[in-house]
Amino acid sequence: MQGIMKSRFGLVVVFIAFVVCLVASSILLKGVRVDLTENGLYTLSDGTRKVLSELDADIKLTLFYSDKATAELPALRTYANRVEELLREFESFSNGKLHLKIVDPEPFSEEEDEAAAAGLQGVPAGLRGDEIYFGLVGRRSAAVGSEGEAEDETGSEEARSESDVEEVIPFFQLDKEEFLEYELAKLVYSLAHPEPPVVGIISGLKLNGGINPVSRQNEPAWVIVQQLEGLFELNWLEQDLNQIPAENVDILLVIHPKNLPDTTLLAIDQFVLSGGKAVMFVDPFAEADRPAMPMMGGGDQSSDAGPLLSSWGVEYDREKVVGDYKNSMVVSMGSNRKPVRHIGLLGLGADSFNQQDVVLSGLEMINFSSAGILSQKPGATTSFTPLVESSDEAMPLKAGLFQMLHSPDTLLDDFAPTGERYVMAARVTGPAQTAFPDGIEIEVESETGADADTAGDANTAGEKGADDSGDQGSKAASTPGKSSKKVMPGVTRSDDIQLIVVADTDVLSDRLWVQIRQFFQQRVISPWADNAGFLVSSIENLSGNSDLISIRSRGRFSRPFTKVESIRLQAEEKFLEQQRELQERLRQTEKKLAELEGNRGVEEQSLLSPEQEKTLVEFQKEKLKIRKDLRDVQHQLDQDIEKLGSNLKLINILLVPFLLTVIVLGIRYFRGKARYS
């Protein structure tokens, strides 16, 4: 009896200790999380934490989520929980600057009107077809107080001041879950830095329109320019310049850098090494760079940015063009000729995109024309990440073939795919050296040779080191009144450059991505490809600070049964192989029947010959046999999957508990043995 009381007292003590530990842990360990997922899916990246730690203004985030209306949509509810958890994580790391509010916009409610007014996308769902909302509204306003609540809880239009800054994610797409952290961090960063990025443009093509050298007609600006003007502040730069002031340019966009002077190349070099971000488009054959007299031929339509690409660790041959049969487009050759396949005109889809890079998220098709080939230079210190690649049915072509190309099908004459995939766009990051370690020679105007030093100081390409460049000395030129001056780079290396290089400029031209129609003297623009989206996404990505750019896609949150999928694919391959065999036999039999039918007289059309009867009977037997084989394959597929499922259940339900029981009993046995020994 005393032993029983002692055991009961011990159980009570253990229970009380358990409750105390549970309460203490809920208080002391509040907010403590352990992420045991393979890719750290629930851990904020360092870039996101830095963005949040540098917030200097209160930001209110309102998550509109139709909780009740999505009761029968488990996949969406799971994703909604993931979004809420991540937003809570953002809030906890923001030092009190982020304030999250969750709203369920029920049908015909004021909250639904608010969601619609904010620009959120309502999606019909459910049996009644009610619109569900699953989006985010971020607002930075002076009206947000220290507790994170606006003066008007409903966030009505009357409560918003003119200085409010608002950013919206219209609807959280399930297929973009791996980019969720980046999208949220980008929204927060945009609210903290509402000024539109300034894009400095150096272009060797007439993006702003002008006189067509062929037709002598005035052409409007490229549509891509209109797209950029609506999103960024554009600063058009001259092709001949001495420096690119960082305070006037956030992102540098270089298009077709053909025959740029050394001073401009050095200015670009210094801008990138000084922390500026850049997007560069080079081209082995820029179709938009038409010579004034095209019938003469022989005009150079390529660009390569001089020594810059090499110094950034990129190899590029201005005489090579990608030919890709799999991704080639069919072009019309006129009313009297049939369309032909153009292996230099490529329609690239998701299979050609780096799906792990946020720049290409959501893009479906990008069209390239006579694009070049990029690769990483051996021994490069930079990181080279392919963004857009060809298929493996591709090979390099000579750019000269496109100079006077009358019929694209002639490109197929010597076409022999190499089996390699060729990079047409890439992201380049990491440490780099200047392309001009020995400086450049410039010619300066001066009344006397003694003034050369003074004039040289004004022509330094970088903001840093400008004062030192005048100490390099000068030498008198052979022409009186002029002198030659060596200008040294102010910045010779960088620990982390950030740029995107694309080996095609035609990708920006209207004909490859947009259809333009005239409607009552108005231009109606209808995009049919994502070329503009690629450029805009590249600029938006680079316009953030280095912390925002460093946020990459996370691992997949879905964890499929890879073994099950492997078995299914193997069986399906066998199934499809036999199905193709059946179709081939059917085709051969029909062909034989047609031949037999053609040998018969017209009067006998309604009768079957013995040969036809025999062929039909054999085919019907063969067809039944193969159909039976197909059913057996499908049945075997189901059996293999069911067997694997049964084995998994056996392991989880019986084997694991059995092993744990054996381990526990073994521990008790050895402890008891040690106690009595």
Query: What is the rounded average pLDDT of the residues 633-655?
Result: 71
Question: 213 Cβ partners below 8 Å, 6+ apart?
Answer: 290, 291, 292, 293, 294
In SS3 terms, 397-444 reads as EEHHHHCCCCCHHHHHCCCCCCCCCCEEEEEEEEEEECCCCCCEEEEE
pLDDT at 543: 87
Residue ranges per domain, the chain? 44-141+163-190, 197-289+299-436+484-510, 560-596+612-672
pLDDT in tens, 347-362: 999 999 998 898 998 8
Residue 448 has pLDDT above 60, yes or no: no
pLDDT at 33: 62
Q: Which of 40-44, 307-311, 637-641 has the highest mean pLDDT?
A: 307-311
Residue 31 has pLDDT above 90, yes or no: no
Q: Are 222 and 215 in contact (CB under 8 A)?
A: no
464 pLDDT tier (thresholds 50, 70, 90): very low
User: Judging by beta carbons within 10 Å of its beta carbon (0-12, 13-18, 19+), is residue 449 exposed, middle or buried?
Assistant: middle
Q: Are 343 and 415 in contact (CB under 8 A)?
A: yes
371 pLDDT tier (thresholds 50, 70, 90): very high
Torsion angle in degrees (nearest 10) through CA of 313, 318, 320, 325: 80
Q: For 402-411, 420-429, 575-584, 594-603, which range has the lowest pLDDT when averaged over its residues?
A: 594-603
Question: 5 Cβ partners below 8 Å, 6+ apart?
Answer: none
Q: Which is higher by pLDDT, 559 or 481?
A: 481
Query: What is the rounded average pLDDT of the residues 207-231?
Result: 84
Q: Which is higher by pLDDT, 341 or 32?
A: 341
Which residue in 111, 118, 129, 117 sits closest to 65, CA to CA?
Answer: 111
pLDDT at 611: 67
pLDDT at 637: 62
Q: Which is higher by pLDDT, 662 or 213?
A: 662
Residue 372 has pLDDT above 60, yes or no: yes
Helix (H, G, I), strand (E, B) or coil at 212: coil
Q: Which of 8-17, 473-482, 555-564 has the highest mean pLDDT?
A: 8-17
pLDDT at 405: 83
Percent above pLDDT 90 for the chain = 44
179 pLDDT tier (thresholds 50, 70, 90): confident
**Which CATH architecture is the domain 197-289+299-436+484-510 placed in?**
3-Layer(aba) Sandwich (3.40)
Residue 251 has pLDDT above 70, yes or no: yes
Residue 48 identity (one-letter amino acid): T
471 pLDDT tier (thresholds 50, 70, 90): very low
pLDDT in tens, 112-124: 999 999 999 998 8
Whole-Å CA distances, 81 to 92, 104, 553: 16, 14, 19
565 pLDDT tier (thresholds 50, 70, 90): low
Question: 636 Cβ partners below 8 Å, 6+ apart?
Answer: 571
Residue 239 identity (one-letter amino acid): Q
Residue 264 identity (one-letter amino acid): T
pLDDT at 528: 92
Superfamily of domain 44-141+163-190: Glutaredoxin (3.40.30.10)
pLDDT at 382: 97
Which residue in 548, 560, 559, 562 sits closest to 179, CA to CA?
Answer: 548
Query: What is the rounded average pLDDT of the residues 154-169?
Result: 63
pLDDT in tens, 382-409: 999 999 999 999 999 999 999 888 889 8
Q: Write the DSSP string, 82-143.
A: HHHHHHHHHHHTTTT-EEEEEE---TTSHHHHHHHHTTPPPEEETTTTEEE-EEEEEEE-TT
Instruction: Classify residue 297 as left (phi > 0), alpha (psi -120 to 50) or beta.
Output: left
Looking at every residue in the chain, the average pLDDT score rounds to 80
Residue 568 has pLDDT above 50, yes or no: yes
Residue 595 has pLDDT above 70, yes or no: no
